């Protein structure tokens, strides 16, 4: 039964920051999509859909907060196997959107199993790491990373390199937080950069184009380099104070592609300028700091690792998306949390926030 005293321990700063970020995201989507079309598709209802997904996400967050998060340890493996089955079902029963088969149609909405994979890997990774008393040796490191390698390989084959990297990096962040033996860290630091070039041979042609475009956006300004060039023009033209709400020429005149998803931050930067982007960055910093605080105050290792995984999940998405939009990283198709449009991603984001609130509000309930 839910203990009503837990309500007094809810992290209201964290919850309030989340609501403000969601409101800014809907406002930005309104500007990006109102009465506009892209690739022949009307975008005028995306901000309304985002509001609906925000409501569904808030309900999912509330449900996630109700039960004791320690019960997740018993559900970790069943959740993992169901997620693997869903990922295996995508090639046979998946729905193709924008040339990629990543979704399963459930009538009322399209389910993206790769988004569920992030939660399942997070929970199972935290369970495995919480049982290890000291630092990880080679055998333990391989066992833990296997939790992320199988779903990441299935997601990468869809192809969805951005989500596959997110799964591996959030698990890697949890492993780094847990600690590995110094000799393993030295080997990884030496071998990592040496093996990285061999990854080129496993990339699809369009992914190679993205890397080449990142190194030289001007090599194909009307093709592969068009997105990033328009994005940089939009942000640069916003200057310090921005052009104003609904006044961004690059976004309002449809020069900027994917302005409601991966490049939503470019719309924000153009209309609100450096000052607005700085405020958004401060809000994200407050948001991430509250997750770190919840991890430090957690009463058990499982709860601390869950919060750590959520921190790396959001931190990496924010870092990669902003780096991608500013031209500091290759385009890998990772959305900006709360600012980019996305149904499955919004619900998963709120579930993870509910998980952090769950750990935070139970920090006084039991002893380790």
pLDDT tens by residue, 123-137: 999 999 999 988 899
Residue 331 φ then ψ, to 5°: -75, 120
Please return the burial class of 70, using the count of CB atoms within 10 Å of its CB with bins 0-12, 13-18 and 19+.
middle
**Angle, CA of 151, 156 and 160, to the nearest 5°:** 115
Confidence of residue 43 (pLDDT cuts 50, 70, 90): low
- 203-235 pLDDT, tens digit per residue, is 777 778 878 887 887 777 877 788 888 888 888
How confident is the model over 89-117, as a mean pLDDT? Answer: 79
Q: Which residue has the higher pLDDT, 361 or 223?
A: 361
**Does the structure show a pLDDT above 60 at 45?**
yes
How confident is the model over 63-72, as a mean pLDDT? Answer: 90
Confidence of residue 190 (pLDDT cuts 50, 70, 90): confident
How confident is the model over 289-311, as a mean pLDDT? Answer: 94
Measured distance CA(238)–CA(329) in Å, rounded: 21
Instruction: Tell me the pairing of strands 110-111 and 41-42.
Output: unpaired
Measured distance CA(94)–CA(90) in Å, rounded: 4
The distance from CA 256 to its chain's CA centroid, rounded to whole angstroms, is: 22
User: In the prediction, which pLDDT does 350 show?
Assistant: 94
**Does the structure show a pLDDT above 80 at 275?**
yes
Q: How far is CA 27 from CA 15, 20, 51, 239, in A?
A: 19, 11, 10, 20
Confidence of residue 112 (pLDDT cuts 50, 70, 90): confident
Measured distance CA(16)–CA(24) in Å, rounded: 13
CB atoms within 10 A of CB 178: 23
Which tokens go with 84? 């693997």
User: In the prediction, which pLDDT does 151 show?
Assistant: 93
DSSP string covering 10-35: --HHHHHHHHHHHHHHHHHHHHHHTT
8 Å CB contact between 358 and 69: yes
**Does the structure show a pLDDT above 90 at 95?**
no
User: In the prediction, which pLDDT does 35 show?
Assistant: 56
Confidence of residue 363 (pLDDT cuts 50, 70, 90): confident
User: In the prediction, which pLDDT does 63 show?
Assistant: 92
Confidence of residue 277 (pLDDT cuts 50, 70, 90): very high
Secondary structure (3-state) at 322: helix
User: In the prediction, which pLDDT does 212 show?
Assistant: 82
pLDDT-above-70 percentage for the chain:
94
Residue carrying structure tokens 């709860």: 303
User: In the prediction, which pLDDT does 120 show?
Assistant: 94
Confidence of residue 306 (pLDDT cuts 50, 70, 90): very high
Please return the burial class of 9, using the count of CB atoms within 10 Å of its CB with bins 0-12, 13-18 and 19+.
middle
8 Å CB contact between 349 and 115: no
- 243 DSSP 8-state letter: S
User: In the prediction, which pLDDT does 331 show?
Assistant: 83
Domain ranges of the chain: 17-35+62-362
Listed range (75-79, 242-246, 350-354) with the worst mean pLDDT? 242-246
User: In the prediction, which pLDDT does 219 show?
Assistant: 76
Measured distance CA(163)–CA(160) in Å, rounded: 6
Mean of per-residue pLDDT scores for the chain: 87
Residue 95 φ then ψ, to 5°: -110, 130
User: In the prediction, which pLDDT does 368 show?
Assistant: 45
């Amino acid at each position: 039964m839910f203990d009503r005293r837990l309500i007094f321990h809810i992290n209201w700063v964290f919850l309030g920051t989340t609501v403000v970020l969601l409101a800014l995201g809907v406002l930005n989507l309104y500007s990006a999509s109102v009465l506009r079309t892209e690739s022949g598709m009307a975008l005028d209802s995306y901000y309304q859909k985002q509001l609906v997904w925000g409501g569904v996400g808030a309900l999912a967050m509330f449900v996630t907060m109700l039960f004791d998060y320690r019960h997740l340890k018993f559900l970790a493996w069943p959740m993992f196997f169901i997620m693997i089955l869903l990922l295996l079902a995508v090639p046979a029963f998946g729905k193709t959107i924008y040339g990629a088969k990543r979704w399963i149609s459930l009538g009322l909405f399209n389910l993206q199993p790769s988004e569920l994979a992030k939660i399942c890997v997070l929970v199972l990774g935290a369970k495995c790491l919480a049982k290890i008393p000291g630092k990880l040796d080679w055998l333990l490191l391989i066992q833990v990373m296997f939790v992320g390698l199988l779903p990441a390989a299935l997601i990468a084959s869809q192809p969805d390199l951005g989500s596959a990297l997110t799964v591996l990096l959030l698990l890697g962040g949890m492993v780094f937080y847990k600690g590995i033996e110094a000799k393993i860290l030295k080997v990884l630091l030496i071998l990592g950069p040496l093996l990285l070039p061999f990854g080129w041979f496993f990339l699809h042609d369009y992914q190679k184009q993205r890397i080449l475009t990142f190194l030289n956006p001007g090599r194909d300004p009307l093709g592969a380099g068009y997105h990033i060039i328009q994005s940089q023009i939009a942000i640069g033209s916003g200057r310090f104070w921005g052009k104003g709400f609904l006044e961004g020429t690059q976004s309002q005149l449809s020069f900027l592609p994917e302005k409601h998803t991966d490049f939503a931050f470019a719309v924000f930067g153009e209309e609100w300028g450096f000052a607005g982007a700085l405020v958004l960055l401060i809000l994200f910093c407050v948001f991430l700091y509250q997750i770190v605080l919840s991890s430090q105050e957690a009463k058990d290792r499982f709860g601390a690792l869950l919060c750590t995984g959520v921190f790396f999940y959001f931190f990496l998405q924010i870092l990669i998306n902003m780096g991608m939009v500013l031209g500091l990283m290759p385009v890998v198709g990772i959305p900006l949390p709360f600012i980019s449009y996305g149904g499955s991603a919004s619900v998963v984001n709120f579930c993870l926030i509910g998980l952090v609130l769950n750990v935070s509000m139970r920090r006084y309930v039991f002893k380790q």
